[in-house]
Amino acid sequence: MLVVTGVAGDDEHAERFHKWASTIVDAAKKRGGVPEANVTYLAEKPDQDPTRIRGRSTKESVEKAFADIAARARPNDEVFVLLIGHGSFDGRVSAFNLPGPDLTATDYAALLAKLQTQRVAFVNTASASGGFLAALTGPGRTIVTATKTGGERNETRFPSYFVEAFEDNAADSDRNGRVSVFEAFEYARTKVAKSYEQQGLILTEHAALDDGNQGKLAATLFLESDRSRAAAAATIADPALRALIEQQRALEDQIGQLKLRQTGMDATQYEQQMEKLLVDLAVKTRAIRELEGKK
């Protein structure tokens, strides 16, 4: 996981950006079980919180962070990148504002090219971030932007709600106990629209998501890694409960993979397989609740 907060411009924004970054970093560690060593948080002012922030968010530091992740990540690992700050658009290229030279969408495309065998979620919550979509889209990638074009230059509300989605279960629409990137996106997009409506303002930001599969890939990406899920299950003392939870999670994964294959499948075959998996999942979930209720 790589979280980058860019140039704030003033103390108020610096505090706001740090609050959002800290929230999602803590959620990844505490709720998602992501190890400390797998989380890198870079900020304009590292002394703002030395316990969380690993370094200054300069062009060189961001490039090094990508290189380090590429060197450590295994095939099929999930890599989550979150940018919080201000963006710019010169009419051709969008950029994310950093202390010193900025990194453009083209620069980030080159950095993501280092992660060819990983599943990547790249989330740019800044203004003018829509210009990143076309530049970064590719196989195995989920790209989320707070705006649909580089021309939407107003300060965005999207990051506040996107981060909020991972704090509790409000965004967990399928009630499986964890929030996917797709669920967080939908939660934030809806909250942004409502906030503008409540204030009687014209909506000036339109969040976008592109994973090449109508959100189905994004629905399989979580802050919680597969390895951390396995480690958490291993700590369950009751072998019967542990087995049921492992079976439940395997079914959830199968459902996610089936959704990814839907486009190339016969409709009847897809519905039959999905129905069986959902019924099996319901049975396992009920058995888990009954066993937990007895305890």
Q: Sketch the domain layout of the chain as residue ranges.
A: 2-220, 236-294
What is the pLDDT at residue 295? Answer: 60
pLDDT of residue 234: 74
> What's the token pair of residue 11?
């103390």
Contact between 123 and 208 under an 8 Å Cβ cutoff? The reply is no
pLDDT attached to residue 251: 85
- Collapsed DSSP state (helix, strand, coil) of residue 258: helix
CB of 111 closer than 8 Å to CB of 141: no
Cα gap 27→21, rounded to integer Å: 10
Between vectors from CA 282 to CA 276 and to CA 285, what angle results, nearest 5°? 140
Q: Which pLDDT value is given to residue 226?
A: 67
DSSP 213: S
Least confident segment among 60-74, 113-127, 168-182 = 168-182
pLDDT band at 59 (very low <50, low <70, confident <90, very high): very high
Contacts by 70-76, CB closer than 8 A, 24 or more apart:
70/114, 70/115, 73/115, 73/118, 74/118, 75/117, 75/118, 76/117, 76/118, 76/119
pTM higher than the cut 0.75:
yes
- The DSSP code sequence of 14-36 is HHHHHHHHHHHHHIIIIIS---G
128 dihedral zone (left: phi>0; alpha: psi -120 to 50; beta): left
- Percent of the chain whose predicted confidence (pLDDT) is above 90: 73
Judge contact between 258 and 216, C-beta under 8 A: no
Q: What is the pLDDT of residue 288?
A: 87
Q: Is residue 294 scored above 90 in pLDDT?
A: no
CATH code of 2-220, in short, is 3.40.50.1460
pLDDT tens, position by position, 188-237: 999 999 999 999 999 999 999 999 999 999 999 998 766 666 766 777 88
- Spell out the alpha helix ranges (H) of 81-157: 105-112, 133-136
Over the stretch 158-173, which tens digit does the pLDDT of each residue have?
999 999 999 877 899 9
C-alpha–C-alpha distance, residues 97 and 128, integer Å: 11
The mean pLDDT value of the chain amounts to 93
The full length of the chain comes to: 295
